[in-house]
Amino acid sequence: MTKHSLETLSFDNTYARLPESFYAKLSPTPFSEPPHLVSFNPSAAELIDLDPEQAKRPEFAGVFGGSMLVPGMEPLAMLYSGHQFGVYVPQLGDGRAILLGEARNERGERWDLQLKGAGLTPFSRDGDGRAVLRSTIREYLCSEAMHGLGIPTTRALCIVGSEHKVFREQVETGAIVLRMAPSHVRFGSFEILYYRKQYEQLKVLADYVIAHHYPHLVETADKYARFFHEVVERTAKLISQWQAVGWAHGVMNTDNMSILGITLDYGPFGFIDDYDPGFICNHSDHNGRYAFNQQPYIGLWNLSCLAQALLPLAQKEELKAALDRYTPLCEGRYMELMRAKFGLIETKEEDASLIQDLLALMHLHHVDYTNFFRTLGLFQAGPESQNEPLRDFFLDRGAFDQWARRYKDRLHEEGSRDEDRMVHMNRVNPKYVLRNYLAQTAIEKAQKKDFSEIDRLLILLQNPYSDQPGMDAYASPPPNWGKHLAVSCSS
């Protein structure tokens, strides 16, 4: 495989060939202070055949810090609208993100290279177009953590920082994260064309997305309906994965929903510590619209907004039929994932109550979600087994014992073997997730110019299912100071 330098990256900017009404062409705005590399992710560099040695060049921070371009880049800010907290906003667009271009690797795959925090665009509204170091670290680490967990997501190549001052709740330093995705087209990219009654443009966008990302549908007669069916399926499966791993997005507006069914736009996200189905990770979400247990419903609501936008291209009945598949798909995939977490191989009708009753106990007793399921792999189904490590999670051990007897019977029914089951469960129950307090620790060190914790977490979270020597502390529940960290949209 050819390893590219910055200057020899191969670009194929298909989005820039669309009509100019879809975007605004502009260059990033350099920081007022010199840029410096905060962290670099070699595994993301592999996706675009970029030689990791390039990160050592001073030009690297210049290119991905917004102060210089390399041949082939055609920077632009994408236009879209969206429903924000249930209310339609007629125009949004990339207010602080600039798409540099689409890098193409030797396998023919295209990856959008997008700078987040690259300065003002025509769509910035009242914003300053900047991101702060704090938010870029969170997105950088979480997108790679989600990839490590096997959840579809944007990726992150690097963080570039600066002493450039940015004003949020307080004065902070500016930074840029270079994020990557096969496409950054969103539900809102279609909504703006529908509500502006630009139906020809709507067709152009749909044809573009289908040609580049759903090419098997190009020649089908009902391609727009089939396209929507596949978006429904991908979105249902994605959200079921969020639910199974205990992750909340925080701002599931339609402009934050990917047309490819990947996790997009990391702001006030959060992994659940103590299990709480009503967990709200965004302290700006006063009504709990985007609470953890609301995510499956919001996925359907957002898809209905996309269906509305596609009405000029597909029959209403076909779009409704696709929407009707969402809940069975989401619930069905969630149950598959949860059976795997419980080490169950066969499918039985009583599994739903077995799973839900344990989750209710975990909620009642404030049990750590990630650690409990990792420890559940140690469950002994023998007649004399007491399973003390699991009982210790619960204040009322008797209540757990009652549930454990049901679980033991269920395991016996399918002839489950303890050793084999533990191996399978450890492959789906992570030991490490990006808890908010871990991200906060990395942020506080980085604000003192110590970036080592970012790199340490990056490596750790790329292999979340493996026991990593000397890293057990990173699997600990949060200390008291880290239990209720306030995370806002500026995060």
Sign of the dihedral defined by the CA atoms of residues 199, 204, 210, 215, in that order? positive
Residue of 102, 6, 11 lying closest to 55 (CA atoms): 6
Distance CA 146, CA 139 (A): 10
Sign of the dihedral defined by the CA atoms of residues 232, 235, 238, 242, in that order? negative
What backbone torsions phi and psi does residue 112 show, to the nearest 5 degrees?
Answer: -60, 130
Residue of 41, 29, 60 lying closest to 164 (CA atoms): 29
| Strands (DSSP E) found in 79-195 | 82-84, 87-89, 97-104, 110-116, 131-132, 155-167, 171-181
Tokens describing residue 431: 């030991």
Tokens describing residue 426: 């450890």
Residue of 209, 12, 215, 5 lying closest to 110 (CA atoms): 12
Neighbours of 215 (CB within 10 A): 9
Q: Could you tell me if 162 and 118 are in contact, meaning their C-beta atoms sit under 8 angstroms apart?
A: no
Check 49, 94, 112, 255 and give the catalytic one: 255
Produce one character per residue of 402-432: b if its CB has 16 or more CB atoms within 10 Å, e if not. ebbeebbebbeeeebeeeebbebbbebbbbb
Produce one character per residue of 136-170: b if its CB has 16 or more CB atoms within 10 Å, e if not. bbbbbbbbbbbbbbebbbbbbbbbbbbebebeeee
Q: Could you tell me if 309 and 187 are in contact, meaning their C-beta atoms sit under 8 angstroms apart?
A: yes
Q: How many residues does the chain have?
A: 491
Distance CA 476, CA 202 (A): 49
Which amino acid belongs to residue 163?
E
Tell me the C-alpha to C-alpha distance, in Å, between residue 284 and each of 78, 251, 288, 377: 26, 10, 9, 37
Q: Is 409 part of the annotated catalytic residue set?
A: no
Residues carrying an active site annotation: 255
